[in-house]
């Protein structure tokens, strides 16, 4: 996905220039090759050596350098799968908006055909100035993407909008920019994480689900252009960017949220580990310990996926099965019994697969008897394999 991708990073002269070093590091860590172009003013804030060491590549700033004569503005413009300017001053935004090319960075940006992402960072009066906003609007009309600055304390000791966006937001925008939008037009509802079934104000029954698989699906579906609704039980994971996020706790809450958002969806992927049972009684006060054992009576939770399966209409329905024995047989019984289009089965006994891991090993079963074996891979890549199958099915249902 990101491995082998190439970014040209333009750094301009602002106090946030040091954060571009963090961005370079984050991209390199993901296997991205980064070539940095610094403006003359940027070099007042941070040394080119920092970027050279972090990127492992020479740093460019001189238009007419003899040293890198082979890396002129055209070859740098062609190098990047994505061009990024972070931080972007009002000056570079103004130059880009008016087609001025008077140094290496502005020239490369004008010559580039790859997507351009601009991440402004400046004083809030400058950022909200009508001219800067008009320049931004004009660039947007020409297809330039912006990662808007955040609100907070600024270097000039004022508070306002103008802080460089979070590095994670910028990385997400970059990864999204080079992802083919093949799921555009799909509205995909995804459930993730565990549910919590309380029996008094401080205690509950739950499971070890981390939410990683569902969040990976939501991230990838969003990057591929789908409109995503993620309904999640409690999870410590960061909420994927650019999606609709609904936080729930219990299976009953999850059911209500799913049913409320069902309308208009083209696919539903139920990656959540929903508790099958909940305590029959929810005590209003904390249950005090007594001599002898405590018996909790449990009652069945609604089977959400079975309910959707019963009124599936034209939607694609994907479920998950986590089994400790007879993986394929048990998964197939769930697939057919609950009217799913696909079921993603994983074996609890395989190392590297399941709840807390960043990786998974799965089998994708279909009602026709097909079994696609997907070997150990990152949950992000697994998510793409599942979404590829979803895409084939949504297209087939449409035609």
Q: Is beta strand 33-38 parallel, antiparallel or unpaired with respect to 6-11?
A: parallel
Partners of residue 9 on adjacent β-strands: 36, 84
* Residue 310 Cβ vs ligand CTP, minimum distance, rounded to whole Å: 12
- With CB under 6 A as the contact rule, which of the stretches 12-20, 114-122, 198-206, 318-326 interacts with ligand CTP? 318-326
| Of 301, 360, 384, 394, the one binding ligand CTP by CB under 6 A | 301
User: At closest approach, how far in Å is the CB of 181 from ligand CTP?
Assistant: 27
Nearest residue (CB) to ligand CTP, 53 versus 336: 336
Stretch of 60-68, 179-187, 283-291, 317-325 contacting ligand CTP, by CB under 6 A: 317-325
Pick from 5, 19, 73, 334: which binds ligand CTP (CB under 6 A)? 334
Kindly tell me which residue out of 44, 153, 276, 358 binds ligand CTP, with binding defined by CB under 6 A.
Answer: 276
Query: Does 23 sit near ligand CTP (CB under 6 A)?
Result: no
Q: How far is the CB of 259 from ligand CTP (least distance, A)?
A: 12
Regarding 169 and contact with ligand CTP (CB under 6 A), the answer is no
- CB distance 283 to 200 below 8 Å: yes
Give the Cα separation of 95 and 141 in Å (integer): 15
Cβ at position 190, least distance to ligand CTP in Å: 10
Please measure the distance between the N-terminal and C-terminal CA atoms of the chain and give it in whole angstroms: 30
Nearer to ligand CTP, 19 or 334 (CB): 334
Instruction: Closer to ligand CTP by CB, 45 or 277: give it.
Output: 277
Quick count: other Cβ atoms within 10 Å of Cβ 385? 16
Query: What is the C-alpha to C-alpha distance for residues 293 and 272, in angstroms, rounded to an integer?
Result: 31
C-alpha to C-alpha distances, 56 to 2, 50, 335, nearest whole angstrom: 17, 10, 50
Q: Is 156 among the catalytic positions?
A: yes
Q: How far is CA 15 from CA 51, 90, 165, in A?
A: 16, 13, 13
CB atoms near residue 383 (< 10 Å):
27
Q: Which stretch binds ligand CTP (CB under 6 A): 91-99, 165-173, 241-249, 270-278?
A: 270-278
Q: Of 114, 167, 274, 361, which lies in the binding site for ligand CTP, with binding defined by CB under 6 A?
A: 274
Q: What tokens does 393 get?
A: 């099915």
Q: At its nearest, how many Å lie between ligand CTP and the CB of residue 214? A: 9
Does 278 engage in binding with ligand CTP (CB under 6 A)? no
Q: Does 358 bind ligand CTP (CB under 6 A)?
A: no
Of 89, 88, 38, 33, which Cα lies nearest the Cα of 68? Answer: 38
Which two tokens mark 18?
A: 């040091």
Nearer to ligand CTP, 7 or 386 (CB): 386
Q: Residue ranges of the alpha helices (H) in the chain?
A: 17-29, 42-45, 48-55, 73-79, 90-98, 104-111, 124-128, 130-141, 167-177, 212-223, 251-260, 304-310, 327-337, 379-398
Q: Which is nearer to ligand CTP, 229 or 305 (CB)?
A: 305
H helix intervals, 248-358: 251-260, 304-310, 327-337
Is the N-terminal amide bond of 261 cis, ω within 30° of 0?
no
Q: What is the smallest separation between the CB atom of 348 and ligand CTP, expressed in angstroms?
A: 10
Residue 39 near residue 61 (C-beta atoms within 8 A):
yes
Q: How far is the CB of 337 from ligand CTP (least distance, A)?
A: 8
304: contact with ligand CTP by CB under 6 A:
yes
| 322 is a contact residue toward ligand CTP (CB under 6 A) | yes
Structure tokens at 295: 């018996």
CA angle 254, 305, 210 (to 5 degrees): 55
Asked if residue 321 binds ligand CTP (CB under 6 A), the reply is yes
- CB nearer to ligand CTP: give 112 or 305: 305
Choice among 156, 298, 353, 374 that is catalytic: 156
Based on the shown chain and the rule CB under 6 A, indicate whether residue 386 belongs to the binding site for ligand CTP.
no
Using the rule CB under 6 A, is 270 a contact of ligand CTP? yes
How many other CB atoms sit within 10 Å of the CB of residue 182?
Answer: 14
Of residues 244 through 263, those in contact with ligand CTP by CB under 6 A are 251
Provide the minimum distance between the beta carbon of 192 and ligand CTP in the complex, in angstroms, as a whole number. 9
Q: Which of the residues are catalytic?
A: 156
List contacts with ligand CTP (CB under 6 A): 251, 270, 272, 274, 276, 301, 303-305, 319-322, 334
């Amino acid at each position: 996905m990101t491995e082998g991708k190439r970014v040209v990073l333009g750094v301009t002269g602002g106090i946030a220039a040091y954060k571009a070093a963090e961005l370079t590091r984050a991209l390199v860590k993901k296997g991205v090759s980064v070539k940095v172009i610094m403006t003359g003013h940027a070099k007042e804030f941070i040394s080119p050596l920092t970027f050279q060491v972090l990127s492992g590549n020479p740093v460019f700033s001189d238009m007419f350098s003899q040293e890198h004569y082979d890396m002129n503005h055209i070859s740098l413009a062609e190098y990047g799968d994505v061009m990024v300017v972070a931080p972007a001053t009002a000056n570079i935004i103004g130059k880009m908006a008016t087609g001025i090319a008077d140094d290496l960075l502005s020239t490369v940006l004008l010559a580039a055909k790859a997507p351009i992402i601009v991440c402004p960072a400046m004083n809030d009066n400058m950022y909200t100035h009508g001219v800067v906003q008009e320049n931004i609007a004009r660039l947007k009309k020409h297809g330039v993407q912006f990662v808007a600055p955040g609100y907070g304390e600024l270097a000039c000791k004022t508070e306002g909008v103008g802080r460089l966006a979070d590095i994670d937001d910028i990385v997400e925008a970059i990864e999204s920019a080079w992802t083919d939008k093949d799921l555009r037009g799909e509205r995909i509802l995804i459930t993730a994480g565990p549910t919590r079934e309380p029996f008094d104000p401080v205690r509950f029954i739950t499971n070890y689900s981390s939410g990683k698989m569902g969040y990976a699906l939501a991230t990838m579906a969003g990057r591929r252009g789908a409109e995503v609704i993620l309904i999640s039980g409690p999870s410590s994971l960061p909420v994927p960017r650019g999606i609709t996020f609904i936080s729930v706790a219990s299976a009953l809450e999850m059911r209500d949220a799913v049913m409320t958002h069902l309308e208009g969806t083209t696919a539903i992927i139920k990656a959540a580990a929903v508790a099958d049972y909940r305590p029959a009684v929810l005590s209003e006060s904390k249950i005090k310990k007594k001599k002898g054992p405590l018996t909790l009576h449990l009652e069945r939770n609604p089977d959400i996926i079975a309910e959707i399966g019963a009124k599936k209409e034209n939607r694609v329905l994907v479920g998950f099965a986590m089994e400790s024995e007879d993986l394929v047989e048990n998964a197939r019984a769930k697939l057919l019994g609950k009217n799913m289009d696909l079921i993603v089965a994983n074996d609890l006994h395989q190392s590297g697969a399941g709840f807390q891991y960043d990786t998974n090993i799965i089998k994708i079963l279909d009602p026709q008897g097909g079994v696609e074996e997907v070997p150990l891979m990152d949950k992000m890549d697994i998510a793409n394999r599942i979404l590829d199958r979803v895409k084939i099915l949504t297209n087939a249902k449409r035609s």
